[in-house]
Structures are given as structure tokens and as C-alpha cells.
Amino acid sequence: MDWSHSRADFPILNERVHGQPLIYFDNAATTQKPRVVLDRLRSYYEHENANVHRGIHELSNRATAGFEAARARAAQFLNARSADEIIFTRGTTEGINLVAAAWGSKHLQPGDKILLTEMEHHSNIVPWQLLAARTGAELLFLPVTGDIGLLDLTRLDEWLTKGVKLFAMTHISNSLGTINPVIELCARARRMGIHTLVDAAQSAGHRPLDVQEIGCDFLAFSGHKMCGPTGIGVLYGRQEILETMPPYQGGGEMILSVSFQKSTWKNPPHRFEAGTPDISGAVGLHAAMDYLDAIGRQKIAEHDQELGAYANEKLAGMKGGIRLFGPHIGRAGVVSFLLEGVHAHDVVTVADQRGVALRGGHHCNQPLMHKLGVESTARASFYFYNTKQEIDRLVEVLGEIQKFFGV
């Protein structure tokens, strides 16, 4: 497959930074946006902009049609049974907070347990800590094994015990590049009557996702990590569970009737979308989903894995000390590493001077970093518009950095 056509769809990839051609390797933080998404945002504001659901005038009808078409498209993108299972959020973080607040406060008792893994992003830890503090529930963490960063599945049944009410797991680790077997994890939880939530922030837009095949109860993702705009995301929730949940926030759009003392609310998904939503974000996300499916998510997944494996192999082959994190095979397009004797922030700062955008830090995985015995790593994360030549350039730049720091 010739990926140079896709690359040409992204105007920003022609930028120069510090006088150098840009090599954008920070896709786990956010991806770049193709022209079709930028054009869709512009046409929305030029021809359709109004508030949704409330008006009877033509523009309001156009905006509502665009917003609800995006919901139906998201349902199709995830193979949800119905568009009523799709809630628009600000992103993965808000999706998880919504479940913690609305599902958690209704269904959790003191002493109940929530199972997470040691490789979770802070956004799949902190909302549960807040919920635990409110309800008296307890958090458990499924261990990760060593630097290769796989979940210890041999011990999973020890953790899927009676008191566990929810198992929330990341699909792909944003710092290790581990791809977790979510179908198996959800099936094993379901057998024990435990609900499941999949954090798909790093997998949506990178591989096919089918919530019925995964068998999860909730799944959250962010539009901005898959070619869509910032500020929009999706929470999938199984309909019969959404119906049991009280609202997350109160306000306009989510009510049936309001009196001074009391309100009644709409059915899901509107019950969970108080206030004016990110309408342009939703229609922009619709364009992003169409764009990704025109390329093919399976092809994107294969390309990601090829780039991840290539980078892993090239970095492992570097002279001088380098520590690599994450699985050696079957990894996603995310590679974390440390050059011996050079702080991750210094690596990122010097790479930036050469036009290479990396990320250095704890990647919102502080407990995992602690477990690995490091404070931070440098990370290169890829998307389909990246090339092996760019990875070769990264290796060259890292060699220059080693020389510069005399290591």
C-alpha cells in the first residue's frame, strides 16, 4: 500500500519546525487532521450552524440532522446495536467520568470493588478513586509483568472475584504499546457477572472495533486521537445499562419537564448530554470516521504494527545504552525508551530542534512508571502517515543526542 497519498491529505505535515521538516511522532497525544475534516468544519459553520434539538427553523434542523447523523455513524463505526447507545462526550476522560459518576453512584455499595490494570492512564484511575472515596468502594489492580508490559492473565481469575462490580481496562497502553486481549478479558469478566469498560483512546481509529464482538458494557474514545477535532468523544454504553443510570449533569437538552422543585429526564443517550453539545465536533468526527474507513482500519492496524516493530528493532540495534519498554512482538505503533544517561526531557528537547516531535514524561501513567522504576520515558507514537524513513531519521537523531551528551 502506498501511504504517500494519505500523507498528502494532511496540510500540517508540510510544516517546518526550527527550520527542519516536521516528523510528527506524538500521535498518541493527538493525531493530525486531514483536509476533509477541516473542510467539513468550515462547511458546517458556513451553511448549517445553529443550536440542535430546540429550533424549528431550517438551520436548526440542518445542525440537528448533522449531529444525529454523526451519532448514527459512530454506532456503525463501533457496530453498536443502536444509535441510542452512543453518548457524545468531550473525550475519553469525560466518558469514563460519566460512567463513574452515573453508573457508579447508582450501583456501588461500600466494600464493592473495581478492578483496573497497572497500565491505566490517569483518566482510567482518578475517576474511580473519586468514586471510591464517595461510595466506600475499593480499587484493585491487575499486575503488569516487567519491562515487556503484558498483563498477567494467568492470575486474572484471582482478581475477578465476587466483590468486583466493574473491570475497566485500556485496550492499547499509551506508554507500553501493549495491545490487551479485550475480547477475552471481557468474556472472563462477564462469566463472573462483572461489568466491563474498555478505554479505547489508543485503539479507536487504529484498528477495527466492534463492541458486540468485544462484549463490553462501556467503551470510550476521543475524536482527536483519530483524525477528528479536539473536544469531542464517544461513550458507548449497553442500552439496558444506560437505562438504569441517573443523569451525569443537569441542564438543558436532557430533561422532559422541569418544575421549581423537580425534573424528569429524557431516555438515553440525551439524558447524558446536558447543555449545548459540541455540534461541529460531532460532524467533524463523522468526516474523520468516513475518512478512516475509506482507508480501512485493518490496513491502518497492520501499518501501525509494522512501524512499531520496525522502530523497536532499530532502537534495540542502537549502539550505546538504550532501555526499551513494552512487548517485543505484536505491539502497537507506540515505542517508549530511555537513553542511558540522558533525561527523557533532554531527548525530546534536542529531537525537537531537529524537527522530530516526541513526548517525554510519565505519559499520565505515574503508577506504571513507578512500577517500572523510572520517572519518565521518551516516546515515539506513530500513525498511518508516518514512514520508515522518518523512523530512520529518529534513530540518526538519537545517535547525535548520545554523542552530544557523551554517552
Contact status: 288 vs ligand 7TS (CB under 6 A)? no
Minimum distance from residue 348 beta carbon to ligand 7TS (Å): 12
Given 3-state DSSP classes, what are the helix, strand and coil percentages for the chain, each rounded to the nearest 5? Answer: 45, 20, 35
Rounded CA-CA distance 152/160 in Å is 13
Binding test (CB under 6 A) with ligand 7TS, winner from 33, 71, 73, 121: 121
Active-site residue among 186, 216, 227, 364? Answer: 364
**What angle, 0 to 180 degrees and rounded to 10, lies between the N-to-C axes of helices 279-295 and 297-316?**
80
Contact status: 97 vs ligand 7TS (CB under 6 A)? no
With beta carbons less than 8 A apart as the criterion, state whether 402 and 328 touch: no
Among the residue ranges 103-111, 118-126, 291-299, 388-396, the one whose residues contact ligand 7TS (CB under 6 A): 118-126
Q: Which is nearer to ligand 7TS, 63 or 307 (CB)?
A: 307
The 10 Å Cβ neighbour count of residue 238 is 19
Contact status: 180 vs ligand 7TS (CB under 6 A)? no
Binding test (CB under 6 A) with ligand 7TS, winner from 92, 196, 280, 402: 92
Binding test (CB under 6 A) with ligand 7TS, winner from 97, 123, 196, 376: 123
Contact status: 270 vs ligand 7TS (CB under 6 A)? no
Radius of gyration from C-alpha coordinates of the chain: 22
Rounded CA-CA distance 276/381 in Å is 34
With beta carbons less than 8 A apart as the criterion, state whether 77 and 266 touch: no
Rounded CA-CA distance 223/227 in Å is 7
Q: Which is nearer to ligand 7TS, 188 or 225 (CB)?
A: 225
Minimum distance from residue 186 beta carbon to ligand 7TS (Å): 17
Among the residue ranges 90-98, 135-143, 155-163, 280-288, the one whose residues contact ligand 7TS (CB under 6 A): 90-98
Q: Which is nearer to ligand 7TS, 63 or 332 (CB)?
A: 332
Beta strands 377-381; 334-339: pairing state: antiparallel
Binding test (CB under 6 A) with ligand 7TS, winner from 202, 280, 312, 336: 202
Among the residue ranges 116-124, 158-166, 208-216, 302-310, the one whose residues contact ligand 7TS (CB under 6 A): 116-124
Among the residue ranges 17-25, 89-97, 134-142, 262-270, the one whose residues contact ligand 7TS (CB under 6 A): 89-97
Please list, in sequence order, all residues whose beta carbon lies within 8 angstroms of the beta carbon of residue 4, skipping any fewer than 6 positions away.
Answer: none
Minimum distance from residue 320 beta carbon to ligand 7TS (Å): 26
| Helix ranges restricted to H, 101-181 | 105-107, 126-135, 156-159
Rounded CA-CA distance 206/200 in Å is 10
Contact status: 360 vs ligand 7TS (CB under 6 A)? no
Beta strands 218-222; 150-151: pairing state: unpaired
Q: Which three cell numbers stand for residue 330?
A: 505484536
Q: Which is nearer to ligand 7TS, 123 or 312 (CB)?
A: 123
Contact status: 206 vs ligand 7TS (CB under 6 A)? no
- From residue 386, alpha-carbon distances to 7, 224, 305 in Å are 8, 17, 12
Contact status: 178 vs ligand 7TS (CB under 6 A)? no
Minimum distance from residue 229 beta carbon to ligand 7TS (Å): 12
Rounded CA-CA distance 86/72 in Å is 8
Known catalytic residue at 364: yes
Minimum distance from residue 202 beta carbon to ligand 7TS (Å): 5
Minimum distance from residue 236 beta carbon to ligand 7TS (Å): 15
Q: Which is nearer to ligand 7TS, 206 or 363 (CB)?
A: 363
Q: Which three cell numbers stand for residue 361?
A: 514524561
Under rule CB under 6 A, which residues in 293-352 are in contact with ligand 7TS? none
Under rule CB under 6 A, which residues in 372-391 are in contact with ligand 7TS? none
Q: Which three cell numbers stand for residue 259?
A: 418544575
With beta carbons less than 8 A apart as the criterion, state whether 365 and 325 touch: no
Angle at 94 between CA 36 and CA 49, to 5 degrees: 40
Size of the site for ligand 7TS (CB under 6 A): 16
3-class state of residue 239 by DSSP: helix
Please list, in sequence order, all residues whose beta carbon lies within 8 angstroms of the beta carbon of residue 104, skipping any fewer than 6 positions away.
Answer: 114, 128, 131, 135, 137, 166
Minimum distance from residue 241 beta carbon to ligand 7TS (Å): 21
Positions touching ligand 7TS (CB under 6 A) are 28-29, 91-93, 121, 123-124, 170, 174, 199, 201-202, 222, 363-364
Catalytic residues: 364
